[in-house]
């Protein structure tokens, strides 16, 4: 009787194991991401191909990754088996557009401004897939806005005089958007393929090597035992995370899952705990040396070294976190919120001594 009860109770306690299909799908995504990362590192280190080809293949890999990660047409469809063959087809089609520009790079340069039949097909497919990938990841707003501007380019000559332009043919628009450096392969794509991806990859390596634990232990050890310690830990650890990862969403996932419950346990309201974490995390966008993507685009657009952008952002970033730290200190004093017991806080210097090599 006891054995039977134990057997029947086990499925309720243990999480369901991933199916073979899910494991295979995750493995496919992993290998695509590995090849993508290897391509970016090799091209950054040795520059074996032109910048235009790097941008095209970069976009091709991004499209392939998006369709594999978001195989369904909407969130409710998820990763249903029926959508996976189509996801592969769309992803590989997007990747093929980048390979096409690699193989026929010389021909595309020679006939610049004149599209062959194959160019038409590749250009239209690329635009459609980029719009669909944007919809799956960002929602309808961005594709609709871009679609309106695309329509303006095609039919703007029919608008009232204040909004008119001379008119552009579909071939001009396809050629500019799909094959030039002023459309899909413009400055943002150049910055993404040359800098942003590598910095994100570097941050991911540091996170997996234990940098998050080091930041958390250091913050806990230095301010965790003071008044309002848990919220101060959130501010400091988020600021330190911002030095290696400029993605607010990624940082919330890594530090927020620890600091928000900790703040709530010591008396902070759910709204205030979430606000502290959101405010602290988004400061990582301006925290050198790895800031948000816009910082790289800013440096490229202004034609200045990225180091100069970091120097300009250093003082505002420090003031931002000092202000956030002071606000949580005042809130803790107003509500008489104490910190963690001293014995529960790790020794910050021992943490640094143990993982100094990460610094």
Q: Where are the domains of the chain?
A: 19-185, 195-358
CB burial readout 178-197, b (16+ within 10 A) else e: bbbeebbbeebbbbbbbbbb
Find which of 72-86, 178-192, 328-342 is predicted with most confidence, using mean pLDDT: 178-192
What are phi and psi for residue 306, nearest 5 degrees? -60, -30
The predicted model gives 250-269 an average pLDDT of 79
What's the pLDDT at 6? Answer: 45
Considering only CA atoms, give the Rg of the chain. 25
Ramachandran quadrant class, 19 (left: phi over 0; alpha: psi -120 to 50; beta: rest): beta
Token couple for 71 = 């195989």
What's the pLDDT at 80? Answer: 54
Q: Is the confidence at residue 15, as pLDDT, over 80?
A: no
- With bands split at pLDDT 50, 70 and 90, how would you rate the model's confidence at 20? low
What's the pLDDT at 212? Answer: 76
- With bands split at pLDDT 50, 70 and 90, how would you rate the model's confidence at 120? very high
User: pTM for the full model?
Assistant: 0.76
Specify the 3-state DSSP secondary structure of 210. coil
Token couple for 102 = 């690699």
Angle at 193 between CA 73 and CA 207, to 5 degrees: 80
- With bands split at pLDDT 50, 70 and 90, how would you rate the model's confidence at 43? very high
Q: Is the confidence at residue 258, as pLDDT, over 70?
A: yes
CB-based contacts of 170, cutoff 8 Å, min separation 6: 154
**What would the pLDDT profile of 156-198 be if each residue is shown by its tens digit?**
999 998 999 988 999 999 999 999 888 999 988 998 898 888 8
The predicted model gives 338-346 an average pLDDT of 82
Q: Is the confidence at residue 2, as pLDDT, over 50?
A: no
What's the pLDDT at 52? Answer: 93
Q: Is the confidence at residue 79, as pLDDT, over 70?
A: no
CB atoms within 10 A of CB 39: 17
């Amino acid at each position: 009787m006891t054995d039977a009860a134990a057997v029947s109770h086990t499925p309720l306690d243990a999480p369901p194991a991933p199916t073979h299909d899910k494991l295979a799908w995750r493995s496919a995504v992993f290998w695509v991401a590995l090849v993508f990362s290897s391509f970016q590192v090799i091209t950054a280190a040795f520059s074996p191909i032109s910048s235009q080809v790097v941008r095209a293949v970069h976009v091709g890999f991004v499209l392939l990754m998006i369709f594999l990660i978001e195989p369904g047409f909407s969130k409710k469809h998820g990763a249903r088996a029926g959508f996976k063959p189509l996801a592969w087809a769309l992803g590989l089609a997007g990747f093929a557009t980048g390979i096409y520009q690699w193989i026929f790079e010389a021909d595309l340069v020679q006939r610049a401004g004149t599209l062959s039949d194959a160019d038409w097909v590749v250009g239209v497919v690329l635009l459609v897939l980029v719009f669909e990938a944007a919809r799956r990841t960002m929602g309808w707003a961005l594709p609709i806005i871009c679609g309106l501007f695309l329509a303006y380019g095609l039919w703007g000559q029919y608008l009232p005089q204040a909004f008119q332009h001379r008119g552009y043919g579909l071939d001009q628009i396809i050629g500019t958007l799909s094959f030039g450096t002023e459309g899909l392969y413009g400055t943002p794509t150049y910055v993404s393929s040359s800098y942003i991806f590598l910095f994100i990859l570097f941050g991911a390596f540091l996170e997996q090597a234990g940098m998050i634990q080091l930041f958390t232990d250091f913050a806990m050890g230095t301010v965790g035992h003071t008044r309002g310690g848990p919220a101060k830990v959130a501010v400091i650890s988020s600021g330190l995370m911002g030095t290696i990862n400029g993605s607010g969403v990624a940082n919330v996932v890594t530090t927020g899952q620890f600091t928000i419950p900790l703040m709530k346990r010591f008396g902070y309201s759910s709204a205030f705990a979430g606000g502290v974490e959101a405010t602290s995390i988004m400061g990582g966008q301006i925290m050198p040396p790895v800031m948000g993507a816009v910082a790289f685009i800013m440096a490229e657009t202004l034609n200045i070294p990225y180091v100069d952008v970091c120097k300009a952002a250093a003082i505002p970033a420090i003031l931002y976190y000092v202000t956030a730290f002071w606000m949580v200190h005042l809130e803790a004093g107003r509500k008489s919120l104490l910190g963690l017991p001293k014995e529960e806080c790790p020794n910050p210097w021992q943490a640094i001594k143990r993982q100094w090599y990460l610094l």
